Amino acid sequence: MRFTVKLLSPTKELKKNLRLDALGRRDMLEVEYRIEASMRIAEIGLASFALDRGTIVSGFWPIRSEVDLRPLLFGLRERGAQLCLPVIIDKQTILFRELVRGAPMIETGFGTAGPPVDAPVLEPTFMLVPLAAFDARGHRIGYGAGYYDRAIARLQEIGVNPRLIGVAFDCQEVEIVPDEPHDMPLEAILTESGLRSFGRTDKAS
């Protein structure tokens, strides 16, 4: 019997190592620090984001040691935003289902939770993007599956050019994220120390 070993390219290998190192640092944060930092992130975001009522905002439900985005999401909802969360449909695709007050949450794969199958699918124009690592240029490393890159590309194909805001803890910053053609730079990074803006970085423009 023959086994095929799939080798990573040097860029992907570097990204993998940067991802593991950054997530290791995040996992080392004390629970109390993550709670306080998540609250600080919510305060900064609410003070920084001026969104029109009805803006469709995608966020994420926290898993493992991620930023707890719920205080920020609920604050934006109180200001009139329409919320949605990513749901894994298959190995290639995520869609964004509406999150409404009091709706049940179901398991949606890879330890994530999201709205049920009967929730409306929305097309977000303001995306709070999870990440494993980021650099000072606004480039991100995701969790390795490429879901968000494909979701953003799909939105752009139908004429939706969402604003992309990465959300993470300061400890997830790395010196530089190696570029790949499919990478989508972020407009800004929101951490517990502030909002760093890079301007609109739309590849479609």
Q: What CATH architecture does domain 38-197 belong to?
A: 3-Layer(aba) Sandwich (3.40)
Residue 181 confidence (pLDDT):
72
Q: pLDDT tens-digit profile of 17-67?
A: 999 999 999 999 999 999 999 999 999 999 999 999 999 999 999 999 999
Q: Supply φ then ψ for residue 157, to 5 degrees.
A: -65, -30
Binding residues for ATP: 15-19, 140-148
pLDDT for 179 equals 80
Handedness of CA 148, 128, 94, 110 (dihedral sign): positive
Distances (CA, A) of 29 to 43, 45, 67: 20, 21, 11
d(CA 58, CA 43): 18
- The residues facing 86 across adjacent strands are 96
Domain borders along the chain are 38-197
Q: Could you read off the pLDDT of 54-67 as tens digits, one per residue?
A: 999 999 999 999 99
Q: State how far Cα 122 lies from the chain centre.
A: 16
Is residue 1 pLDDT above 70, yes or no?
A: no
pLDDT at 121 over 90: yes
For residue 65, what is the DSSP state?
A: T
Crossing angle, helix 70-78 and helix 31-48, to 10 degrees?
Answer: 30
The annotated binding site for substrate is made up of 66
Beta bridge partners of 129: 166
**Which residues participate in the annotated binding site?**
15-19, 66, 140-148
